[in-house]
Amino acid sequence: MRDITHFIDGASVAGTSGRYGEVFNPNTGAVQAKVALASPSEVDSAVASALRAQQTWALVNPQRRARVMFEFKRLVEARLEELAELLSSEHGKVIADARGDVQRGLDVIEFACGVPHAMKGEYTEGAGPGIDVYSMRQPLGVVAGITPFNFPAMIPMWMFGIAIAVGNSFILKPSEKDPSVPVRLAELMLEAGAPKGVLNVVQGDKTAVDAILNHPDIKAVSFVGSSDIAAYVYAHGTATGKRVQAMGGAKNHGILLPDADFEQATKDIVGAAYGSAGERCMALPVVVPVGRKAAEEIRERVLAEIETLKVGLSTDPAAQYGPVVTAAHKTRIEDYIQIGVDEGAELVADGRGFKLQGYENGFFIGPSLFDGVKPSMRTYQEEIFGPVLQIVRAETLEEAIALPSGHQYGNGVAIFTRNGRAAREFASRVNVGMVGINVPIPVPVAYHTFGGWKRSAFGDINQHGMEGVRFYTKTKTVTARWPEGAQDDSAFVIPTMQ
> Contact residues for ligand NAD (CB under 6 A)?
146-151, 173, 175-176, 205-206, 209, 224-226, 229, 247-250, 281, 383, 385, 411, 452, 456
Closer to ligand NAD by Cβ: residue 235 or 480: 235
Closer to ligand NAD by Cβ: residue 2 or 206: 206
CB 451 within 8 A of CB 113: no
Least spacing, CB of residue 382 vs ligand NAD, in Å: 10
Instruction: Round to the nearest angstrom and report the end-to-end CA distance of the chain.
Output: 73
The amino acid present at 75, given as its one-letter code, is L
The amino acid present at 47, given as its one-letter code, is V
Closer to ligand NAD by Cβ: residue 154 or 422: 154
Q: How far is CA 418 from CA 258, 289, 402, 423, in A?
A: 9, 14, 20, 8
CA 347-426-400 angle, to 5 degrees, is 30
Closer to ligand NAD by Cβ: residue 140 or 229: 229
Least spacing, CB of residue 264 vs ligand NAD, in Å: 26
Closer to ligand NAD by Cβ: residue 150 or 417: 150
Task: Please give the sequence-ordered ranges of beta strands (E in DSSP) within 37-110, or none if there are none.
Answer: none
Maximum Cα–Cα distance across the chain:
89
**281 assigned to active site:** yes
SS3 32: strand
Least spacing, CB of residue 385 vs ligand NAD, in Å: 5
For residue 117, the 8-state DSSP code is H
Least spacing, CB of residue 279 vs ligand NAD, in Å: 7
**Among residues 163, 269, 281, 432, which one is catalytic?**
281
Least spacing, CB of residue 269 vs ligand NAD, in Å: 18
Taking the C-alpha atoms of residue 243 and residue 485, their distance in angstroms, rounded to an integer, is 43
Closer to ligand NAD by Cβ: residue 97 or 176: 176
Q: How far is CA 190 from CA 187, 196, 231, 313, in A?
A: 5, 6, 33, 33
Least spacing, CB of residue 227 vs ligand NAD, in Å: 7
Pairing state between β 142-146 and 218-224:
parallel
Residue nearest to ligand NAD (CB): 225
CA proximity to 277, closest of 234, 348, 229, 329 = 329
The amino acid present at 425, given as its one-letter code, is E
Cβ atoms < 10 Å from Cβ of 1: 9
Looking at 351-464, list the stretches that DSSP marks H as alpha helix, in order from N- to C-terminal side. 378-381, 397-406, 420-429
For the annotated catalytic residues, the residue numbers are: 281
